[in-house]
A and B are shown apart, each in its own frame.
Chain A
């Protein structure tokens, strides 16, 4: 083989290495997407949703521990209230949690009024509760109401207090109001994480 032919072969070989690496990375991106989008169906008290796979759940009435994993202590959720149906969180990142709540009063009560009542309750029970933004929204054709808020979670006596930012989505559902909440400790809720929006769209009542 001549020197030129050798050089050509090496160049082709390098090109194949680059192409195979790019193909592997593309496949790897597919594996990443598949892992991130993996969900499991969950249903409790007439509310169903697609939860991110591997996330833990705390149902209404449970305190401190997860029913799905009894050894896993639930993250502090000072916004806990009797209307909450369940809270779910990633055990690897317990500072991000999604909650679903149901309030009495549906079509006859405006979503803004329900939001006002809920905000008033929170202002009385949470530290430094602040409403940052309120606005009507439409999610997949469903009319809703969005409230962005923040408060301080003092944690245990030995903890450094954390600022929690959150966003509530209110939707009318028959004679009830469905509230889907995202809360993030020491993080931003804007832009709203894609994974939460997917969860939000999956929540159904009475189906």
Chain B
């Protein structure tokens, strides 16, 4: 079993790493196609194309995850249900709370401090708590949640569901998006939310299969919320203010690079943390 578990873990990390690379390729392909074909859209086709693009990052992750997660696979339906639950919680609670109750667009960008504190306390905590809830009160008690890495898998699915709804809402709210700019924003959102959710999932896995202190998972949600707030503050700061078209383009790519690095670093850190946790558990048994 330990060998199988080890293979299982490494297949999950490989799936994550390949998904990140594929998302980078996806962005480059869409950019290339837009430059080569210079397509013309009607309002309807622009909207539909945007919605399809919004779903692609989650589809890539799920497809690759299914292919790699063969040794001890999580039930496809369960992963998909958590993905849907993440999306539903975003649509039913997260977006209305942030946009309508807190009306963040009215005050968040006022000063450095409001942007950072509001980003962490309102947006970060709302989003990360809902991803936590999507796992904690659904699959967490299931027998399928049978090793620490499952926390990361299910939470990532919830995070991607959340990101997909955010992206679709953005596309629909904007009446469609420019392909190049839109695909970067969509991919950044997906990579970032999957990464933050991975952090929450790691702490949930630790809670279920270790004996951590009672504040363990609260620490995980807080850490993810802080990462969320700081990341989007940095992304907004890096990507705004480009006066020339070339400058604006470069800043968008900078934001994208930041998200890809975040996803890669979080994946690597979580892989190391899970390995250490299992090694510690192995020694104590």
Measuring CB to CB, which residues of chain A are less than 8 angstroms from any residue of chain B?
1, 9-10, 12-14, 16-18, 20-21, 24-25, 27-29, 31-32, 34-36, 38, 53-54, 92
Check if B125 sits within 8 Å of A9, measured CB to CB. Answer: no
Check if A25 sits within 8 Å of B114, measured CB to CB. Answer: no
Q: Which residues of chain B come closer than 8 Å to A27, judged between CB atoms? A: 117, 121
Contact of B214 among A12, A24, A25 (CB under 8 A): A12
Do A17 and B132 contact each other (CB < 8 Å), given the known contacts A9-B214, A28-B125? Answer: yes
The 21 listed contacts between A and B (C-beta, < 8 Å) are A1-B211, A9-B214, A13-B216, A13-B218, A16-B215, A17-B217, A17-B218, A21-B125, A24-B124, A24-B225, A25-B121, A25-B125, A25-B126, A27-B117, A28-B117, A28-B125, A31-B118, A32-B102, A32-B104, A34-B114, A53-B110
Q: Which residues of chain B come closer than 8 Å to A92, judged between CB atoms? A: 109
B interface majority secondary structure: helix
Do A31 and B114 contact each other (CB < 8 Å), given the known contacts A10-B207, A17-B129, A36-B106? Answer: yes
Task: Tell me the bound Cα distance from A175 to B117 in angstroms.
Answer: 48
Q: Closest chain B residue to A17 by CB distance?
A: B218
Q: Which residues of chain B come closer than 8 Å to A13, judged between CB atoms? A: 207, 214-218
Q: Closest chain A residue to B132 by CB distance?
A: A17
User: B107 on the interface (CB 8 Å rule)?
Assistant: yes
Do A28 and B102 contact each other (CB < 8 Å), given the known contacts A35-B111, A36-B107, A54-B110? Answer: yes
User: B195 on the interface (CB 8 Å rule)?
Assistant: no
User: B221 on the interface (CB 8 Å rule)?
Assistant: yes
Q: Which residues of chain A come closer than 8 Å to B122, judged between CB atoms? A: 24-25, 28, 31-32
5 additional A-B residue pairs with CB within 8 Å, beyond A10-B207, A17-B217, A20-B218:
A18-B129, A20-B222, A24-B124, A35-B110, A35-B118
Check if B125 sits within 8 Å of A32, measured CB to CB. Answer: no
Check if B121 sits within 8 Å of A31, measured CB to CB. Answer: yes
| Chain A min CB distance to B172 (Å) | 22
Task: Tell me the bound Cα distance from A9 to B211 in angstroms.
Answer: 9
A interface majority secondary structure: helix
Q: Which residues of chain A come closer than 8 Å to B108, judged between CB atoms? A: 35
Q: Closest chain B residue to A33 by CB distance?
A: B107
Q: Which residues of chain B come closer than 8 Å to A14, judged between CB atoms? A: 136, 217
Task: Tell me the bound Cα distance from A92 to B109 in angstroms.
Answer: 10
Q: Which residues of chain B come closer than 8 Å to A1, judged between CB atoms? A: 211
Q: Closest chain B residue to A12 by CB distance?
A: B214
| Chain B min CB distance to A189 (Å) | 18
| Chain B min CB distance to A52 (Å) | 10
Q: Which residues of chain A come closer than 8 Å to B218, judged between CB atoms? A: 13, 16-17, 20
Interface 0/1 of B78-121, CB less than 8 Å to A: 00000000000000000000000011101111110110011011
